[in-house]
């Protein structure tokens, strides 16, 4: 199934712009050819792109991470987009900086943005592009870790991962996930 919506997860506001939790926003910024505009009915920044003749909506929820699902549901419902036609791009603690993986369906893995989306959509059947940000080593440190800026070396690795994922945008939009998974998953 082709993609009709790409959602980048993050937190709004300049104090969060460079934090690990905003990796999804960074991806949207990388693929958007024009600035997104705030649309209150969707509780987020919205744009459109055309990839190989296919129109795709871009969304950066402005609801904060733990309420991202409200924004995703509003836009998906309005444009009649199925969960299977959505790609959610998010930071992933279980992957090291520089790693990027594509996944279809699955649980939330403790990620508050994914929890909210699953709850609001009533489905976990959407696609995920997981951008590795590393783990602080202790579960008690996670909240503080994802809301902090990465080291220069880790930031560069994350930017490289986003660039690598962007190279596969055409195939992802076309719904040709298996070759993309094979390519991304074998990279170190």
User: Where is the binding site for tRNA, in residues?
Assistant: 16, 64, 66, 112
Number of H helices, E strands in the chain: 7, 7
Angle at 141 between CA 139 and CA 145, to 5 degrees: 120
Give yes or no: 108 in active site.
no
Q: Are 114 and 90 in contact (CB under 8 A)?
A: yes
CA distances from 174 to 34, 60, 121, 169, 178 (A): 21, 21, 22, 9, 11
Radius of gyration of the chain (CA): 15
- Cα 55 to its chain centre, rounded Å, is 18
Annotated catalytic residue within 21, 90, 111, 168:
21
Active site residues: 21
């Amino acid at each position: 199934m082709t993609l009709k919506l790409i959602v980048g997860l993050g937190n709004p506001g300049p104090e969060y712009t460079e934090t690990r939790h905003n990796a999804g926003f960074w991806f949207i910024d990388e693929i958007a050819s024009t600035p997104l505009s705030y649309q209150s009915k969707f509780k987020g920044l919205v744009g459109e792109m055309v990839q190989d003749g296919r129109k795709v909506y871009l969304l950066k929820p402005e609801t904060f991470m733990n309420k991202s699902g409200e924004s995703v549901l509003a836009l998906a419902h309005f444009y009649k987009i199925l969960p299977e036609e959505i790609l959610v791009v998010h930071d992933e603690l279980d992957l090291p900086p520089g790693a990027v993986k594509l996944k279809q369906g699955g649980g939330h893995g403790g990620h508050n943005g994914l929890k909210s989306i699953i709850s609001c959509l009533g489905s976990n059947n959407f696609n995920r592009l997981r951008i590795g940000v590393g783990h602080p080593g202790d579960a008690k440190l996670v909240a503080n870790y994802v809301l902090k800026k990465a080291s220069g070396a880790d930031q560069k690795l994350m930017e490289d991962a986003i660039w690598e994922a962007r190279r596969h945008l055409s195939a992802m939009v076309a719904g040709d996930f298996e070759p993309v998974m094979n390519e991304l998953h074998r990279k170190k």
